[in-house]
A and B are shown apart, each in its own frame.
Chain A
Amino acid sequence: MSGKLVTVGVLVAGLVAGAASGWFSLQNGMVGGETYSGWSGSKVTGSVDADPWTRARVAVSGLLALNKSQAIYFSRNTDDSGARLREDCRYRVTGGALPARWWSITVYASDNYLPLNSDDALSFDQTEAQPDGKAAWSGVLSPKRPEGEAWASTSKAGDYDITLRLYQPTAAAQADYASIPMPKVTRLDCGGAA
């Protein structure tokens, strides 16, 4: 093999390996980076101050996300014990007053889209779980509809994650994500015990 051919081969191999490592670095979805009680969230999501990696990661898994002055996004794919969220398990999500005008919790499949089920329960939000915006609240993540509770269906969600949206967060919440009382996610049971 001529020396020139080897040089070109090394150059192409380097470019391909670099591009592959770049793509791999964007595959953590919205989970990863800074965490707050098990929830991942970045202060520079949507911001002009975002570094190139954050901007690219958000483009892949959260395109058109708002900056924190308008909305804060937190995601997680584990329960409070650290175990991976599973489609066949039931979880209770609990919280109290959140420092925002309105909040919601949504289930996303691993392809970053909504699960392909027809339950018409892809999320639950403050208007459903906490109409006064102040009281303690709870909701259920499960593949089957619970009786009389706020519910987000995990049917056909596979290896899913959940996203908490806080719209119009308070100035204090924007300044210090660690001050936000994050909801808890507790596993109830698995494997159709429901």
Chain B
Amino acid sequence: MNRKLKLLGLFVGAGIIGHVGLVMAVPHGLMSVAMSRMSGDGAAINQFVFGDRTTKDSRRVVRPSPDLAYASCVYDLSKGPLLVSAAPSPNQGYVSLSVFAANTDNIAALDTTQYPNGIRFVLARKGQSVPAGVQVVESPSDKGIILDRRLAPTAELFAEVDKARRADSCAPLG
């Protein structure tokens, strides 16, 4: 009886570890897959990659919005901070830059309502040296994703904002 109780306790304990372990691991695992896809298996790190217009065939990340134009920068801060900027869209259309840590948390979101002349910030780990007088976003992880979202519900608007976003930058501090 005593042994059966011990085995039951072992089963329940292992079950809790398995449950919590999987739940904790899933965000990191899926984020890793997304970073790999968005960076072309690591070929494009610390630079923006400009996505095509969202269609039924857009399958890199779940639940894309067909009304938005997306550009992504997979970042790696292990060698130092990045300077990130996004130019405004024509007619002050919606633009946001959002920063996601390796555990999927959205640690910052800046938009052109706050910054109508364009968004600009330094992305750094805590303790890294950054220039004075510039907005700083601190990432809790070396790696993550920056997303540029722009309102572009039609092909015509997509073409317009695509031109504007080519001025975006995501690069090591010079």
Contact = CB atoms under 8 A, between A and B. Distances in A.
Interface of A: 3, 6-7, 10-23, 25-26, 30, 46-48, 50, 52-53, 55-56, 58-67, 69-70, 101-102, 104, 106, 108, 112-118, 122-123, 125, 127-128, 163, 165, 167-168
Contact of B66 (A19, A64, A123): A123
Interface of B: 3, 7, 10-24, 26-27, 30-31, 34, 54-56, 58-59, 61-67, 94, 96, 98, 100, 103-107, 109, 111, 113, 145, 147, 151, 153
A28 to B, nearest CB: 14
A61 B22 contact: no
Nearest to A20: B18
B63 A113 contact: yes
A47 B105 contact: yes
Contact of A116 (B24, B34, B56): B56
B156 to A, nearest CB: 12
Contacts of B21: 18-19, 22
- Residue from B10, B59, B63 having most chain A Cβ neighbours under 10 A: B63
Given A14-B12, A48-B107, A114 B7 contact: no
B37 to A, nearest CB: 11
Contacts of A167: 94, 151
Contact of A15 (B15, B103, B105, B107): B15
Nearest to B3: A3
A60 B30 contact: yes
A75 B147 CA distance: 22
A114 B105 CA distance: 24
B106 A67 contact: yes
Contacts of B109: 66-67, 69-70
Sort A-B residue pairs by CB-CB distance and give the 8 closest, nearest first. A18-B18, A14-B14, A18-B15, A22-B22, A46-B106, A18-B19, A70-B109, A15-B18
A83 to B, nearest CB: 23
A102 B94 contact: yes
Given A15-B15, A19-B19, A65-B106, A59 B26 contact: yes
